Amino acid sequence: MSTQNKLKTFNIGGVHPDDHKISARIPITTLPLPKTVIIPVAQHIGTPATIVVQRGDSVKVGQVLAKHQGFVSSNIHSSVSGRVGIIEEVMDSSGFKHTAISIKVKGDDWEETIDRSDNLVEDISLEGKEIVTRIMEAGVVGMGGAAFPSHVKLSVPEGKHVDYLLINGVECEPYLTSDHRIMLEKPREIIVGIKILMKALGVKNAIIGIEDNKRDAVENFSDLLQHETGIEVQPLEVQYPQGGEKQLIQALLNREVPSGGLPSDVGVIVHNVGTTFAIYEAVQKNKPLVERVVTVTGKSVKQPGNFLVRIGTPVIDVLIAAGGVPEDTGKIVSGGPMMGKAIADLDVPVAKGTSGILLIPKAEALRAEIYNCLHCGKCIEACPMGLEPYHLLLMTKKGNYDKAKHEHIMDCIECGSCSFVCPSNRPILDYIRLGKTEIRKPKKA
């Protein structure tokens, strides 16, 4: 591949925020064990898991704390060994209180069935169905941020034919580098993970999509993939929100997911690189999802870095490892600056979907003054889904949710490009999200 050729990207909308990948060159370090962890039972999209432990129980790392409830749900495992403490409603990164299990850490005692060595296991002994079951049991969810249970994605409904697996190594959110570091440090494992996914789905082709600002990862993969058939790596032009599932499919395969449809409607399944690595560990090493890489970053953070953190570790512990909270911090965001959510309390736990913790200085944290809409159309140009954000804002503000639904508000991927480009600083996405929430609510009789 030559860099002279125009790189692929999606063709509607998109913005170019400064990428600020401060922690890109800092290797992943393991965070010391916290004193207590708080493990919410709803870390994924879907039904919360049902708790199977009681206060006072001794648990090992990898032991199931809560069983999945129904198909679109996920198991929750203990990320530490110790004693189960109080089970109560605590604030999590969603900003609301949800049931969570607290565990007092004692030693680091893992379940015997888990292979903790660093050996690369390449032979895939499990069959397709078994792989999906194993992933389901291991509680693997999408680690890009949405935390959608991975086994659901792998169970393609009958009548749909999937011919491509896309691996999302785009990491288009500014600041975040956790996926980048995994790609650099665990490329062989990711490749085995891809093979596992290909076997489970029965597909022959896989493409790893990586934005061009991570050239080292692209080169790394193309070296490793020289002798592989069916898997290729594709550099992409840097543009936000390329990491959106639908945008990535369009960029790599030029297929468009229909409104309200799923990637499997156009024969594609997308998985994040972090998830692929977790799937490798779940299937080859029998290791459930108990830890993840979290980027801690920000302009004034003393020691930004990428930390391997046990799920349930309070955010404050992770921040201390990164040199504490700088004095000029105005906002602490769980996730990236574009789609992340500010956290209201430093005791909230790191969940399966927490890809980063971003500390924004005071000067940049507050929103600027809001002016009237100029009807300049910049938001329409920026919207990667081809919607009319300013229009959707007006409709939801007036409570006209039916009209907004008719104008495809539900297709919004909440990337925030509209709010990002708005010269009047209008809170466009706030209202679009409100509209989506109101439409999703069951109608009162």
Residues in contact with other proteins by the rule CB under 8 A: 91, 94-97, 331, 341-342, 344-345, 365-367, 370, 397, 427, 430-431, 433-434, 437
Instruction: Give the nearest distance from C-beta 79 to other proteins in angstroms.
Output: 25
Instruction: Give the nearest distance from C-beta 343 to other proteins in angstroms.
Output: 9
**Would you tell me the crossing angle of helices 273-284 and 187-201 to the nearest 10 degrees?**
80
Q: Return the number of the residue (38 or 197) whose C-beta is nearest other proteins.
A: 38
Q: Which residue has the tokens 């490749």?
A: 191
* Angle of CA points 382, 386, 389, to nearest 5°: 65
349 CB-near residues (< 8 Å, 6+ apart): 37, 38, 39, 40, 90, 92, 93, 100, 311, 312, 313, 314, 315
Report residue 282 as tokens. 């779940």
Instruction: Give the nearest distance from C-beta 96 to other proteins in angstroms.
Output: 5
Does residue 153 sit in helix, strand or coil?
Answer: helix
Instruction: Give the nearest distance from C-beta 128 to other proteins in angstroms.
Output: 40
Q: Return the number of the residue (120 or 370) whose C-beta is nearest other proteins.
A: 370
Q: Return the number of the residue (82 or 353) whose C-beta is nearest other proteins.
A: 353
Report residue 22 as tokens. 């401060």
Question: Using an 8 Å Cβ cutoff, are 178 and 189 in contact?
Answer: no
Instruction: Give the nearest distance from C-beta 441 to other proteins in angstroms.
Output: 10
Write the burial class of residue 196 (CB in 10 Å: 0-12 exposed, 13-18 middle, 19+ buried).
buried
Q: Return the number of the residue (94 or 99) whose C-beta is nearest other proteins.
A: 94
Instruction: Give the nearest distance from C-beta 348 to other proteins in angstroms.
Output: 11
Instruction: Give the nearest distance from C-beta 417 to other proteins in angstroms.
Output: 17
Q: Which residue has the tokens 């850490």?
A: 105
Q: Return the number of the residue (187 or 314) whose C-beta is nearest other proteins.
A: 314
Q: Return the number of the residue (106 or 403) whose C-beta is nearest other proteins.
A: 403
* Radius of gyration for the chain, computed over Cα atoms and rounded to the nearest angstrom: 21
Instruction: Give the nearest distance from C-beta 368 to other proteins in angstroms.
Output: 10
Q: Return the number of the residue (370 or 374) whose C-beta is nearest other proteins.
A: 370
Instruction: Give the nearest distance from C-beta 412 to other proteins in angstroms.
Output: 14
Question: Rounded CA gap, 40 and 48, in Å?
Answer: 9
Q: Which residue has the tokens 């190594």?
A: 169
Write the burial class of residue 331 (CB in 10 Å: 0-12 exposed, 13-18 middle, 19+ buried).
middle
Neighbour-count burial for 148-183, b at 16+ CB within 10 Å, e otherwise: bbbbbbbbbeeeeebebbbbbbbbbbbbbbbbbbbb
Backbone dihedral angles phi then psi of residue 185, each to the nearest 5 degrees: -95, -25
Report residue 314 as tokens. 């309070």
Q: Return the number of the residue (303 or 437) whose C-beta is nearest other proteins.
A: 437
Instruction: Give the nearest distance from C-beta 388 to other proteins in angstroms.
Output: 18
Question: Using an 8 Å Cβ cutoff, are 101 and 36 in contact?
Answer: no
Q: Return the number of the residue (96 or 371) whose C-beta is nearest other proteins.
A: 96
150 CB-near residues (< 8 Å, 6+ apart): 135, 140, 141, 142, 271, 275, 278, 279
Q: Return the number of the residue (73 or 396) whose C-beta is nearest other proteins.
A: 396
Question: Rounded CA gap, 414 and 429, in Å?
Answer: 7
Q: Return the number of the residue (109 or 347) whose C-beta is nearest other proteins.
A: 347
314 CB-near residues (< 8 Å, 6+ apart): 34, 36, 37, 38, 346, 347, 348, 349, 350
Instruction: Give the nearest distance from C-beta 94 to other proteins in angstroms.
Output: 7
